A and B are shown apart, each in its own frame.
Chain A
Amino acid sequence: MTVLESRGLGKRYRPRWALTDCTLSVPAGHVVGLVGPNGAGKTTLLHLATGLLAPTTGTIEVLGGEPAASPAQLARVGFVAQDTPTYAGLSVADHLRLGAHMNPGWDAALARSRIERLGLDPAQRAGKLSGGQRAQLALTLAIAKRPELLILDEPIASLDPLARREFLRSLMEFTAGNQVSVIMSSHLMGDLERVCDFLIVLVASRVRVAGEVEDLLATHHLLTGARHDPAALPPDWQVISASHTDRQTTLLIRTGSPIDDHAWTVAEIGLEDLVLAYMSQAADPAPGRTPALEVQR
């Protein structure tokens, strides 16, 4: 089963495409990291997945259904929006009551125990909570409805480092014990590196790469060798980035086959460097096409 399946998905805001030609298939059971610079279209993709937005082109299915089409479909997806909105005038306890009244699958015991563990005062108004506490309250609302898929839009971007760690820890505690898939976005890879096992890199409204982290690490290689003519590289090497000095060429390539050319020194690449390489690609090339070599000094 897939948690998210999209074909040719696109969204245009009047003059500008926020997301173009997005074809994805995300299998169930993963913690998916959606990474990209600010303004890349991450929020647009997540809003399409929650049904807050309707696509301009293409289709999107979440857990096999049209997003937000019915109460049953809404019950299957938990969503924590960017900046973790809560009702400022309502107390923590009111938010739990809200969740209980508006979700048939509400797990009151789970919600209560989480609030207790977090040390939140149920009588406290949400408007008086710190950013980290508010994020935790929003996460509690999203998980106590017992969703099959949890979607989090930059949930930790505005939190201090301690609150970030606390938030991610409580998220992982929950996902470890439950059959739930997670899609969370961030503009910083460092946030996601420890928790994600599936990665989608979105740059300038296009998906640059998507796949399981293990596969991505196994198929990307950092090569160093004597200066090469770009045209002479094997055809199944997809060059992600390249830099040259007078004598030396350094390539980041993606290939499914082993590298047996001894002219190259092969090194493995970390996830953060891999994502950075995709993010710093020139803005226009479509995924799959080999970009031209660039000289960097």
Chain B
Amino acid sequence: MIWLTWRQFRAQAWVASAALAVAAVALAATGLHLAHLYDISGIATCHARGVCQTVANAFMNQAGAAYGVLFYGGIAVMYAVPAIIGVFWGAPLVAREIEAGTFRLAWNQSVTRNRWLAVKLALIGLAAMATAGLLSLMISWWASPIDQALPLAAGPNDRPLNRFTPLLFGARGITPIGYAAFAFALGVTAGVLIRRTLPAMATTLAVFTGALVTMSLWIRPHLITPLRATLAVTTANMTGVANASGGRLRATAIVNIPGAWMLSSQTITATGQTSFPATHACSTSSSFQACQAYIGSLHLRQLVTYQPASRYWTFQWYEMAIFLALALALTGACFWWVRHRRLS
């Protein structure tokens, strides 16, 4: 059974190995240069000198010009690889055997269909996890100078982007391993249930995308109760004043806690209200300074909820464990369906 699995999978295995090798060479060549730029940028010692934002910005400008495409390309690849594994390794695994009728040939050799499925799922599932894991290791290493500089380069009123924010979180560390296992199991399950390769591929892609979006928007923020903090609003981080209902005004501000994943943010007055009365000072006829002075007198504060940078690896493990558990559940369902469903 191991032989047949390898014989049917070896073309895909070669493609994956070749792609990993190409990625390794490209990332090693450029990654060393990127690490060199980081070393000479002075970011490592910036805290003592209090110049972090300046040197980090200088480094980001340099790195962005040379490797911006590669940085964002790496993120895209990191999300695409689990999807590709689910669509091209998972979905056809059983569906193609059903379409061609070859499962009748395979299931009448002296190997039970449980073993047939177990060997296929184990070997190719492990290959999927290894592929995603290796790629994530390479890309995470490659991007680590940029990932470290990102929170430092962000000013107090920049929208925070770091390895904890949703775009980067799933493209770094160990979560891609969970994604790959899940996508693969999802593809196989779709193939068993739908019994046709192309619809199973499409379904896999749709459900996988949906699962990732659901996870990062609605589930991941609540895995651990977020921390709350109240931060001062200054003229530097305030982004604007807008009309609220009832002739009142509302201020907006962006605050950034370095390395943290900011979840929500609200500007409140000293008495805890979300809006404040409009006065003549902030009308169109008065001066900008007058309005600033009025708002300064309100002692606005920013109420934020966030996941601190120290929780990053806990979240990585949780995310991987959740997707591995989903993959295991789907695998169990596959075994049950292959035993009890009419496939022909």
Contact = CB atoms under 8 A, between A and B. Distances in A.
Contacts of A81: 101, 104-105, 108
A53 B3 CA distance: 26
Contact of B109 (A85, A87, A102): A102
A71 B102 contact: no
Interface of A: 13, 47, 50-54, 68, 70-72, 74-75, 77-79, 81-83, 85-90, 94, 97-99, 101-105, 138, 141-142, 145
Contact of A70 (B3, B4, B7, B112): B112
B342 A74 contact: no
B7 A74 contact: no
Contact of B110 (A52, A82, A83, A145): A145
B344 interface: yes
Interface in B85-140: 100-102, 104-113, 115
Contacts of B113: 68
Q: Give the most central of A54, A77, A81: most B CB within 10 Å.
A: A81
B239 interface: no
A99 B317 CA distance: 43
Contacts of B344: 47, 52-53
Given A13-B342, A71-B112, A78-B108, A86 B102 contact: yes
A70 B7 CA distance: 24
A90 B109 contact: no
Contacts of B105: 81, 85-87, 138, 141
B162 to A, nearest CB: 46
B333 to A, nearest CB: 18
25 contacts: A51-B107, A52-B104, A53-B344, A68-B107, A68-B108, A68-B113, A71-B111, A77-B108, A79-B104, A81-B101, A81-B105, A85-B100, A85-B105, A87-B102, A89-B8, A98-B7, A98-B109, A99-B109, A101-B1, A101-B3, A102-B4, A103-B110, A104-B110, A138-B105, A145-B109
Nearest to A97: B3
Contacts of B2: 101
Contact of A54 (B108, B115, B340): B340
